[in-house]
């Protein structure tokens, strides 16, 4: 598929609708029930009247339109119509707090907002709603009359947003025109709107398709939020241009996700590391529960797959050797993409061993989508793969070990941050994007990520410690759901400015919490045993049991700053923990020192 | 026609049964994440139980931003036929 000839996303998408007219474009499912499936031709029939409506409402080239919705057909219909009119799409994160969404809307200043009813209702309940200044709001799934907007805001139901004209011409856009403004999940406070051009996206698409050619017959399950760069490319632009099918589910409940993999024989899927880890845990538990003979047979099948697959995950071979495992994934899975945060190598190896090709990648909203991707040839689970075609990566000011800040250059890099020339100058220097991540490049070209520049810890001995390295050693702590490593000064900024001692924060599995507390000596020993595997300067000097779910972004990336702030503020509080027998134990949140 | 309080009582019964905690330890204003020791994915399990019980459909977003039983009861009550 050659996308070089398209001047814009609108042109590429429109061509897809024409070319694949009779193929299935979308499957809209709600749990086990399929609501509808529509062809590319039917998609076009729905999208163009909406584009005509936007035109009639005065929306034209370079005007901005925000979408605030969960994954569903109207997200894609609205996005298509915006591109058809050469507008600029502002995809917003549906999982952000309503006040934050209003703040981003004030920053992006769109002319149009397309929003799901329940999210609109949540916006309307905020005090800052009165200051909303979007001229036209279109509410989907509104039962009757949606809440009115503040003065000057016109509110329409999706069903009423149709013009007399059933069709309208494609408004031309050029490669260098802005296609999207995407807010990156950076540190709080400053709105970072990444300005991305049509060229950025089409170049990214070109690179991705050279590695994973999509075609009719590809069925992609869209569970990452579509506002997120990965799903936008793999769950919208890519499939439309190539005639692949996108499946929407309307729920994230794991039981329905598993069902959908089987029912639709999903071929491609993108997940975040947390979901992958949950899948790994449940598979490992199921394997452990097998009778000894069946377990031995499983080990043999895994070994045979490794031997005959020559160390590369080979789904066709593995489906024969490991049929029940592959049937649980639908039996048709060709590729699974994981990104958005660091994945533990052990988890990746586990899936590769089973013949499930999980491709680990690394990217930033600022870089379009992906910078690197593991080609699995052979897999390198300790890395994030090699740069995509057309993208250059280099390490800035490497230390003796070759570690420095990762810089990226290429046609997918954003133009800059919206209305923030200062931050843009700091972030894109001489054409190179400063990622803020630390890593090193191997002679083979594989990139290893070693942590965030900001989050790096320098010990009193002058040694650099990357929290991710230390966290890796505690990945298999029994009964622990999530964990994170901080320098003490990061948690208690005002108290000790230079305390570089490392602390491990663990959140137990709720079902295990009470037993960890009652047998905490064993738990401490388990931490100490893992601690001893680390270099002396990497060892944690205390641990803290935290009972709240760690704060994460919509793409499940850990918000380290927020977690540090929560721990710092609520340290020492007394909390109640339910024990299995129904009694309540009261404990104090505190640091437990090791030896 | 049941009241919001009736709905709340049913939710507390179902939550106690599903997560195996004594019914009398739960009350409407409890933060159910804390009280039941569950995370957001497990909270969605409760939604599935409530759907079965009330024979209605509850989108995932009815859990969005809700942490206490009473708010959940209000939302569910609004969906009852």
A576 touches chain B (CB under 8 A): yes
Q: Share the mean pLDDT of chain A.
A: 88
**Share above pLDDT 90 across residues of chain B, in percent, rounded to a whole number:** 16
pLDDT higher than threshold 70 for residue A362: yes
Domain containing A156 — which CATH number?
Answer: 3.40.50.12780
Domain containing B70 — which CATH number?
Answer: 1.10.1200.10
Residues A440 and A481 occupy one common structural domain = no
A548 touches chain B (CB under 8 A): yes
Q: Which of A35-39, A115-119, A457-461, B72-76 has the lowest mean pLDDT?
A: A457-461
| Residue A227 resides in a domain | no
Asked if A118 and B25 come within 8 Å (Cβ–Cβ), the reply is no
Q: What phi and psi, each to the nearest 5 degrees, are found at residue A139? A: -105, 125
Whether complex ipTM tops 0.85: no
For residue A288, CA distances in Å to A294, A301, A515 come to 10, 15, 21
| Residue in A384, A361, A211, A185 with CA at minimum distance from that of residue A271 | A361
A70 touches chain B (CB under 8 A): yes
Reported confidence tier of residue A228, pLDDT bands at 50, 70, 90: confident
Residues A466 and A405 occupy one common structural domain = no
Total structural domains in chain A?
Answer: 3
pLDDT higher than threshold 70 for residue B35: yes
Question: Which pLDDT belongs to residue A238?
Answer: 96
User: Between A502 and B10, whose confidence is greater?
Assistant: B10
The pairing of strands A154-157 and A112-116 is unpaired
A254 touches chain B (CB under 8 A): yes
Domain limits at B48?
4-77
Question: Which pLDDT belongs to residue A538?
Answer: 80
How far is A83 from A18, CA to CA, in rounded Å?
16
What are the tokens at A124? 């309307």
For the stretch A326-337, pLDDT in tens is 998 899 999 999
Total structural domains in chain B?
Answer: 1
Task: Over range A161-189, report the average pLDDT.
Answer: 82
Q: What phi and psi, each to the nearest 5 degrees, are found at residue A581? A: -85, 5
Residues A406 and A472 occupy one common structural domain = no
pLDDT higher than threshold 60 for residue A165: yes
Q: Which residue has the tokens 């999207």?
A: A180
For residue A194, CA distances in Å to A60, A181, B26 come to 21, 5, 46
| The dihedral formed by the CA atoms of A177, A135, A123 and A81, expressed in degrees to the nearest 10 | -40
Q: How many CB atoms lie within 10 A of CB A381?
A: 21
pLDDT higher than threshold 70 for residue B1: no
A253/chain B closest Cα distance in angstroms: 7
For the stretch A138-147, pLDDT in tens is 999 998 888 8
| Residue A229 resides in a domain | no
B63/chain A closest Cα distance in angstroms: 11
Question: Which pLDDT belongs to residue A578?
Answer: 63
Question: Which pLDDT belongs to residue A579?
Answer: 61
Domain limits at A73?
9-26+38-198
Q: Which of A167-176, A265-274, A517-526 has the lowest mean pLDDT?
A: A517-526
Contact A52, A143 (CB under 8 A): no
Show which of A383, A417, A450 is a domain's final residue: A450
pLDDT higher than threshold 60 for residue A461: no
- Highest mean pLDDT (candidates A178-182, A273-277, A318-322, A498-502): A178-182
Residues A443 and A468 occupy one common structural domain = no
Question: Which pLDDT belongs to residue A188?
Answer: 41
């Amino acid at each position: 598929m050659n996308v070089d000839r398209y001047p814009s996303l609108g042109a590429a998408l429109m061509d897809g609708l024409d070319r694949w007219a009779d193929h299935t474009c979308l499957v809209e499912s709600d749990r086990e029930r399929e609501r509808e499936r529509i062809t590319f031709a039917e998609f076009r029939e729905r999208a163009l009247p909406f584009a005509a409506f936007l035109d009639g409402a005065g929306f034209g080239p370079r005007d901005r339109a925000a979408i605030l919705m969960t994954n569903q057909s109207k997200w894609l219909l609205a996005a298509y119509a915006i591109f058809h009119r050469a507008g600029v799409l502002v995809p917003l994160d549906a999982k952000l707090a309503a006040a934050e969404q209003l703040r981003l809307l004030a920053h992006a200043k769109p002319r149009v907002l397309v929003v799901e009813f329940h999210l609109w209702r949540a916006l309307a309940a905020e005090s800052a709603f009165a200051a909303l200044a979007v001229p036209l709001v279109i509410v989907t799934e509104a039962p009757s009359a949606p809440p009115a907007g503040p003065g000057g805001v016109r509110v329409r139901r999706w069903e009423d947003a149709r013009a007399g004209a059933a069709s309208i011409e494609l408004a031309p856009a050029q490669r260098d025109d802005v296609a999207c403004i995407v807010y990156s999940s950076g540190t709080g406070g400053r709105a970072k709107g990444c300005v991305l051009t049509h060229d950025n996206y089409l170049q990214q698409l070109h690179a991705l398709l050279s590695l994973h050619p999509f075609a009719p017959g590809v069925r992609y399950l869209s569970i990452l939020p579509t506002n997120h760069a990965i799903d936008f490319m793999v769950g919208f632009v890519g499939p439309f241009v190539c005639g692949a099918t996108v499946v929407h589910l309307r729920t994230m409940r794991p039981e329905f996700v598993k069902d959908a993999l089987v029912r639709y024989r999903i071929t491609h899927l993108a997940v975040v590391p947390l979901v992958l880890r949950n899948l790994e845990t449940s598979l490992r538990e199921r394997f452990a529960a097998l009778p000894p003979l069946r377990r031995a047979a499983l080990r043999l099948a895994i070994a045979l797959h490794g031997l005959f697959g020559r160390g590369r995950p080979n789904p066709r071979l593995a489906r024969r050797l490991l049929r029940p495992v592959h049937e649980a994934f639908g039996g048709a899975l060709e590729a699974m993409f994981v990104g958005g945060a660091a994945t533990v190598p052990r988890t990746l190896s586990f899936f590769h061993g089973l013949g499930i090709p999980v491709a680990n990648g690394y990217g930033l909203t600022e870089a379009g989508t992906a910078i690197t991707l593991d080609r699995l040839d052979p897999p390198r689970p300790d890395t994030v793969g090699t740069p995509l075609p057309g993208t250059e990566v280099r390490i800035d000011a490497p230390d003796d070990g070759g570690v420095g800040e990762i810089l990226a250059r290429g046609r997918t890099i954003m133009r800059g941050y919206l209305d923030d020339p200062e931050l843009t100058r700091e972030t894109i220097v001489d054409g190179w994007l400063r990622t803020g991540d630390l890593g090193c490049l191997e002679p083979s070209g594989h990139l290893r990520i070693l942590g965030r520049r900001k989050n790096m810890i320098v010990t009193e001995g002058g040694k650099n410690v990357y929290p991710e390295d230390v966290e890796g050693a505690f990945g298999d702590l029994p009964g622990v759901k999530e964990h994170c490593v901080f320098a003490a000064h990061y948690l208690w900024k005002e108290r000790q400015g230079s305390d570089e001692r490392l602390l491990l924060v663990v959140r137990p599995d709720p079902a295990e919490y009470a037993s960890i507390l009652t047998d905490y000596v064993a738990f401490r020993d388990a931490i100490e045993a893992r601690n001893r595997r680390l270099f002396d300067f990497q060892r944690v000097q205390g641990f803290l049991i935290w009972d709240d779910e760690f704060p994460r972004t919509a793409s499940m990336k850990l918000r380290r700053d927020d977690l540090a702030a929560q721990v710092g503020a609520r340290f020492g509080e007394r909390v109640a923990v339910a024990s299995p027998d129904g009694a309540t134990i009261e404990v104090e949140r505190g640091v437990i020192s090791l030896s | 026609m049941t009241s919001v309080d009736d709905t709340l009582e049913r939710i507390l019964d179902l939550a106690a049964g599903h997560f195996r905690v004594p019914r009398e330890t739960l009350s409407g204003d409890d933060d159910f994440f804390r009280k039941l020791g569950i995370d957001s994915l497990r909270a969605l399990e409760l939604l599935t139980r409530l759907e079965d019980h009330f024979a209605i459909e509850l989108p995932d977003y009815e859990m969005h931003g809700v942490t206490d039983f009473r708010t959940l009861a209000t939302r569910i009550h609004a969906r009852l036929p």
